[in-house]
Amino acid sequence: MPAKHLIITLDGPAGAGKSTVAKSLARRLGISYMDTGSMYRAITLQGLRQKINLADEKVLAALARRTKLGFKKRRDGTLDVTINGKNASRAIRSVAVTNHTFYAAAAPKVRAILVAQQKAIGRRQSLVSDGRDQGTVVFPKAQYKFYVDADFEERFGRRLREMRASGKTVDPKTLRRDMQERDQKDLSRKVGPLKKAKDAIVIDSTGLQVEQTVDKIMKYIQKA
Ligand code: C5P
């Protein structure tokens, strides 16, 4: 564990390899990893389970308020998301959840609730935090901010392999279209859009293996 409280943010588009990189970086530094996308996914999963109207911001925010999200630390430092005490880390990865998460992500009231929770977690412990708005909104004073990007074709290829490896049936055409739509939604939402913080270091992971990307990031951290 580093001697002082440390926050490192990793923002970037879907499929840029952020989560695997963040996980590995956190392990190397001996601090926790927070996957903030899992929180938007968890609220969406609950909404789908309870068949609420996801497009109704008030209803969705009320759900976010009454849903107790938690994080359970794994041995590798990863935090698994729990919903009302139950581990939901697998259930939140379904295609249905992925394709409906933009409702929660675009709802300012929901974002306010989740951002407050993320800040609180960050106050209690050192973190590598991955998302879209971590360096811009949640931890503007983070010691290190990175913006991890990769070419669309590479991000698409990675996601396709990842989904196939986890046993999901995927139609490449549909995945490509879904990813393009998701990029567009991430970039264009009014609150908490995907945006590089002014002081973030851009890491292009195109053509790099996970550990090579982590090495690149570590160089900046060790230099300081
Ligand atoms: O990173 P991941 O793909 O799991 O995120 C799921 C969704 O949650 C994304 O489509 C993104 O729009 C949203 N998200 C967000 N803010 C974050 C992290 C994720 O709006 N900090």
Q: From the CA of 196, how far away is ligand 1's center (Å)?
A: 15
Q: Please indicate, yes or no, if residue 92 is contained in any of the structural domains.
A: yes
Each of the 224 residues of the chain gets a pLDDT tens digit; together they read 456 899 999 999 988 889 999 999 999 999 999 999 999 999 999 999 999 999 999 999 999 999 999 988 887 767 789 999 999 999 999 989 999 999 999 999 999 999 999 999 999 999 999 999 999 999 999 999 999 999 999 999 999 998 899 888 899 999 999 999 999 999 999 999 999 999 999 999 999 999 999 999 999 998 76
Q: Please indicate, yes or no, if residue 136 is contained in any of the structural domains.
A: yes
Residue 82, H or E segment: strand 79-83
Residue-range definition of the domain harbouring residue 49: 7-222
Q: What is the DSSP string of 193-224?
A: -S---TTPEEEE-TT--HHHHHHHHHHHHHH-
Atom of ligand 1 nearest to the CA of 98: 6
**Cα 121 from chain centre:** 15
Instruction: Indicate the top mutation candidate among 80, 81, 186, 190 to test ligand 1's pocket, ranked by most ligand atoms within 8 A of CB.
Output: 186
Counting the structural domains of the chain, the total is 1
Q: pTM above 0.85?
A: yes
